[in-house]
Amino acid sequence: MPNDIHIVCPNCAATNRVPSQRLSENPTCGRCKADLLTGQPVEADAALFGKMMSSEGLPVLVDFWASWCGPCKMMAPAFAQAAAQLNPKIRLLKVNTEQEQALAAQYGISSIPTMVLFRGGREVARTSGAMPAAGIVQWVQAQL
- Is residue 74 one of the residues assigned to a domain? yes
Which among 9, 12, 29, 72 is annotated as catalytic? 72
73-131 tens-digit pLDDT:
999 999 999 999 999 999 999 999 999 999 999 999 999 999 999 999 999 999 999 99
Tell me the residue range of the domain where 48 lies: 39-143
- Is residue 11 one of the residues assigned to a domain? no
pTM: 0.95
Residues 82 and 2: their CA atoms lie apart, in Å, by 28
- Is residue 128 one of the residues assigned to a domain? yes
Radius of gyration of the chain (CA): 14
32 tagged catalytic = no
Check which CATH number belongs to the domain holding 75 and give it: 3.40.30.10
Residues 9 and 108: their CA atoms lie apart, in Å, by 27
Structural domain count, the chain:
1
* Cβ neighbour number for residue 101 with a 10 Å cutoff: 12
12 tagged catalytic = no
- Is residue 133 one of the residues assigned to a domain? yes
28-55 tens-digit pLDDT:
999 999 999 999 999 999 999 999 999 9
Q: What is the pLDDT of residue 141?
A: 97
Give the chain as a 3 state SS string.
CCCEEEEECCCCCCEEEEEHHHHHHCCECCCCCCECCCCCCEECCHHHHHHHHHHCCCCEEEEEECCCCHHHHHHHHHHHHHHHHHCCCCEEEEEECCCCHHHHHHCCCCCCCEEEEEECCEEEEEEECCCCHHHHHHHHHHHC
Question: Is residue 132 reached through a cis peptide bond, with omega within 30 degrees of 0 on the bond before it?
Answer: no
Which among 9, 29, 32, 69 is annotated as catalytic? 69
- Is residue 118 one of the residues assigned to a domain? yes
- Contact criterion met (CB below 8 Å) for 43 and 83: no
C-alpha dihedral (41, 46, 51, 53), degrees to nearest 10 = 80
